[in-house]
Amino acid sequence: MDTCPCGLDAAYDTCCGPIIRGEKAAETAEQLMRARYTAYAKVETDFLKESIRPDKRHTHDERQTKNWAAKSEWFNLEVVRTEKGGVDDDTGRVEFIANYAIKGEKARHHELATFVKLDGSWYFDDGVGVVPETMVRQGPKVGRNDPCPCGSGKKFKKCCG
């Protein structure tokens, strides 16, 4: 079985394959987003262009997209959350993380993508990168030579540091 790259435990030919080949339409925004990820992994760049909202397709660089998709090694897709985008909705948002490598360098593409349903079909509308939250230390900084906060009596560097 050729497992679908989208992360669902299903065969490509019954999962995203029919959507990419145009045999069936995506029923939800998340389903279209998973098919788009799979299209990158399978270098099916015609589908990537066709799944963009028609009035925004002129912004799509086919050559650059194909080059990037082909040179990348696609590991997995994590769907973080979805907002709307169901069968009865006209808009939806899907936050996802695509894990891949390009030229051997591992990378993560974290995006909040918006989708719109026009004439009964879902399309990719826009996407913005999600910036990681800044971590703020809750307690005081523990120095290497300070007593370990775990209570062991050892210096931090010899214990939990």
Domain membership of residue 138 (yes or no) is: no
Is 125 domain-assigned?
yes
DSSP reduced 3-state for 14: coil
CATH classification at residue 64: 3.10.450.50
Token output for 158: 């010899």
Average pLDDT over the chain, rounded to an integer: 93
Place of tokens 């909705």: 89
Per-residue pLDDT of 26-67, as tens digits, reads: 999 999 999 999 999 999 999 999 999 999 999 999 999 999
pTM, two decimals, is 0.81
Which sign does the torsion angle of CA 4, 27, 29, 39 carry? positive
Which residues constitute the domain of residue 92? 12-132
How many structural domains is the chain composed of? Answer: 1
Would residue 145 count as lying in a domain?
A: no
Task: Please provide residue 52's backbone torsions phi and psi, each rounded to the nearest 5 degrees.
Answer: -85, 145
pLDDT band at residue 143, thresholds of 50, 70 and 90?
Answer: confident
